[in-house]
Structures are given as C-alpha cells and as structure tokens.
Structure 1
Amino acid sequence: MRIAGSWFYNKKKRGRLIWVTAGMACMAAGCCVAFCMQVSLRAPTEVRETMAMNESVKKVAITFDDGPNPDYTEMLLSGLKERGVNATFFLLGKEVEQYPEIVKKIHEGGHLIGTHSYEHVNLSNLTDAAAIEQVDKTNAAIHAIIGEFPEYIRPPFGCWKPNLDYETTMIEVLWDVDPKDWATSNSSVIAQRVLGDVEENDIILLHDASESSVLAAFKIIDELKTQGYTFVTVEEILLE
C-alpha cells in the first residue's frame, strides 16, 4: 500500500530531499526528537563518539551525466578506482543499450547508477505517457544489465514533471554546483569553477563525455581530498 505523500527536493543551494506524509509529519517529528534524545542520553561512549565522527566528516557527491561514453567513461572509472572514490552516474537508456559492458563496469566499481531519460529530452515538454516511457525504457535497459532498477533520476535540463511522482517510484536528483563543463575544453577552468563554489554536502554536476571533463574531475577530487572532503554517492547526501 502506498502512503499518501510526495518527495520534494528543495532547489535552493544546500536544499535536500524531504518526504512529506499527509497528517503524520508532526507526529513523526515528535517521535523522532524523543528517540534521538533518548539515544544521545543512553548511548555508550563509543557510540556517541562514532556519531560525532560521522557528523564531522565533510561529504560531497560527484555525479556524471549522459553516459556511458565509449571513449571516456572507462578512463574515468580507472581514475576513480585509483582514488578510492564512489560516484553517481545518470545514464541515457540509448547509450546503455549500446554499451552494456561499460554499464557493468560502473556497477562493479561500486558506483550508484541512476536514470537520465532514454534520449536526453526535456521531459516536461512531453505527454505524461511519453515521459514515463523515457523513464521506464531506461530503467528496463539498466535492469537487464545489472539486475537492479534505478531509484534515482536526474531529468535532462533539470525539468521533471511533478505529477509523475505517483506514476513512477523515481526520486529526482538535481545539483548544487554546475561548472558547465560541456561549454569548455579547459579542464583547469572546469575544476576552478567547482572548487570556487563547492560546499559541504553539495552535489557536483559533471559529464563523462570529454577528456577535459574527466581530467577536471580528477583535479577536483584530488584538491577536495586535501581539504578533508569525503566523496559519497547522492544517496548518502539526500537520505542522511
């Protein structure tokens, strides 16, 4: 049985995903506060120390759209593995069908896979049926390769149809930092645009469709690691 409610992603910087359940939000909040107070009072010292350490970790998520790309995705995966970084990939169904082996490598590398529509179209300009087809067709293609259905979607251009929340189970994921890496071939420029704007718990938008974007990703990761950042998937950012 589906509980009445909806996922909301605040598009303002640092905004996060919230599930609102009609008629139950206040009661749930009260229970949560009471439970958290009880834990903080009664938890053993080592548990409290672990909780404090988790709260002190600076997290950031790096994401890649439009893949899998036959020329650059594997180069990116190799660099991510060397750096011990898990990323999130929002894939196009059409590319998934063409390059299933790369999709397998993304999954086997421990990265999170999401949907980015089938043909990179503006979903808000389509009929509901056509938009759902773009999502479902991509999800089916991904499932056929990795045996799992994606739970997250980044709609092309950030244009989702809110009324589809009850037609799909997808959670919309946008971004906090967009260096527009598709508009320049200078990896240093791309990296500086991110490094000059990124904050804790941000979601970084990049693409794995060019060498400059991949090299920029490595520069970003290397620099943010020196600043004490830990890279996680969007799931950990949104649902923490």
Structure 2
Amino acid sequence: MKTCGRRWIPILLAAALALWLPGCQESAPAVGVVPGQKKLVALTFDDGPRRSTTTQLLDGLAERGVKATFFLVGSRLADQEDVIQRMDREGHQIGIHTYDHVLLTGLNQADFDAQVEATRAQLKEILGHNDFLLRPPFGKWDAAVQARAGCPIILWSIDPEDWKDDDVERMVSQALSQTRDGGILLFHDIFASSVEGALRTVDALHAQGYYFCTIEELFAARGITLQPGEVYWNAYP
C-alpha cells in the first residue's frame, strides 16, 4: 500500500527514541501505537459517510487521539469529499463497502466492477491514492469475490450489533464482552446512537489499557502482511 511507509515513519522514530530516552515509553500518550504493543484493537465503521454523524464521530476520535478504518459506500460519496479528505488527512484508513451496499456473492464480473471498482475509482479521484481495503456487505464472500477483490478483504471479530436498536448501554456492554487483543471492532457511523456507543466503548477500552489503530497498523504490528484476496477477521496473538 502506498501510504504504509509514510504512516509508519513517525511510529518507528518514536520507537527508536524510546530506546535512547529513559522513561520515554512510560510518558507516551495512552493512544499511541507501538510495534509489539499489547492489547491492540482496530476500530472500524461501515455504511458511511453521513455528514452529520460522521463529522461528530471524527471530532470525538480526534479528541481521543484515536485512528479508525472507514468502509465507505460509493453512493454516499457525492458532496462528501471534504469529509472523506478529512478522514484521510487525520490518519484514518479508508476502505470500500460497495457502491449500493449489496451482496457481492453471485455477481458477474460487470456487476462486481460496478459495485467495487466504481467505488474504488471515486475514492481514488477524491484522495489521489489507491490503497483501499474491501469489506463485503453482510460479511458475505466466496471464491469469486476473493479472486476479483484486488485487495485484502476485512471482516470483524467484535460486533455490538449497533444497527439493531439505539440502546447504547447494550451495544457498549456487548462490545466490551467480545473484545480481546488483536480484535476488529465493527460499528456504523450513520446512526447517532452508534457514534455515542463507539466513543463510549473507546473510553471504556482505554481504561482497560487498550490501544486503537487502523487495520493496516494492527496487522503490521503483529508482523502480518495483508494479501490481496485473503480474508481477515482479527490479528489475535
């Protein structure tokens, strides 16, 4: 991925300084990501962007110093270019969640391209790079999806089912009960209750000593190279 090296330069420099400066690691912010750091979680969001809720979420993540991965729907990108550029500028990772949020299984090549490649082209035009992951809607994939993806396929291991209702207490409790080191946490940034639930989950997991990172950072920290067409649920140690 083209941005991988650029994003890791500050991290590697910080790690090097930690070897030379006594106490450096102890005084680092709790939200930093260090290669080999324990208790990492990748926070991910599907179905956006939606200007009102996604902007609120980005503000909350910025306040907490947290980086996330956003899987975007192509039909929602129009007139949201500034929101998407902000995601990228603030260090969040961006992925594809198809154009119309449809099942990818069973599609022919032309229909697959209309869902995935068309969204990829839109994002490339907006951001100027082409290193996007794929999350198939509903977590459904098959051999044809793997063959056509052209990038790693990312699922999840922690699901608070925030789409089911607006019960923030339930979704936070459910997320916390499923979280373990190396997990991938799924929320949706198109519901106000999901934004609240996600930020409260972040605060609770910070209190438990978890660090948050993008999908790219999570797997790199565990020495795993993401491969096109391969499916990943977690980076458990």
Aligned to 1:174: 155
Q: CA deviation at 1:133?
A: 2.3
Q: Bigger shift: 158-167 or 130-139? A: 158-167
Aligned to 2:12: none
| Contact 2:104 2:145 (8 Å CA) reproduced | no
Aligned to 2:44: 63
Aligned to 1:121: 102
TM-score of the superposition, structure 1-length normalised? 0.75
TM-score of the superposition, structure 2-length normalised? 0.76
Q: CA deviation at 1:203?
A: 0.1
| Alignment partner of 1:194 is 2:200 | no
Q: Work out the CA distance in 2 between the residues paired with 1:156 and 1:167.
A: 15
| Contact 1:128 1:164 (8 Å CA) reproduced | no
| Alignment partner of 1:131 is 2:129 | no
5+ residue gaps, structure 1, are 1-45
Aligned to 2:9: none
**CA RMSD, Structure 1 to Structure 2 (Å):** 2.1
Q: Work out the CA distance in 2 between the residues paired with 1:190 and 1:137.
A: 33
* 3-state SS of paired residue (2:178): coil
| Contact 2:105 2:144 (8 Å CA) reproduced | no
Over 3 Å counting, the alpha-carbon distance change for 1:79 and 1:130 in structure 2 is same
* 3-state SS of paired residue (1:181): coil
| Contact 1:115 1:150 (8 Å CA) reproduced | no
Q: In structure 1, what residue type is equivalent to 2:65? A: G
Q: CA deviation at 1:189?
A: 1.1
Over 3 Å counting, the alpha-carbon distance change for 1:168 and 1:183 in structure 2 is closer
* 3-state SS of paired residue (2:98): coil
Q: Work out the CA distance in 2 between the residues paired with 1:170 and 1:184.
A: 32
Structure 1 outlier segments of 4+, above 4 Å: none
Aligned to 1:110: 91
Over 3 Å counting, the alpha-carbon distance change for 1:179 and 1:126 in structure 2 is same
Q: CA deviation at 1:58?
A: 1.3
Identity of aligned residues (%): 37
| Alignment partner of 1:213 is 2:194 | yes
Q: Work out the CA distance in 1 between the residues paired with 2:171 and 2:106.
A: 30
Higher-Rg member (1/2): 1
Superposed, which structure 2 residues align to 1:19-168 within 5 Å?
46=19, 54-168=35-149
| Contact 1:104 1:146 (8 Å CA) reproduced | yes
| Contact 2:99 2:116 (8 Å CA) reproduced | yes
Q: Work out the CA distance in 2 between the residues paired with 1:179 and 1:90.
A: 17
* 3-state SS of paired residue (1:63): strand
Q: CA deviation at 1:164?
A: 4.1
Q: CA deviation at 1:107?
A: 1.1
Q: In structure 1, what residue type is equivalent to 2:105? A: S
Q: Which has the higher strand share?
A: 1
| Contact 1:63 1:206 (8 Å CA) reproduced | yes
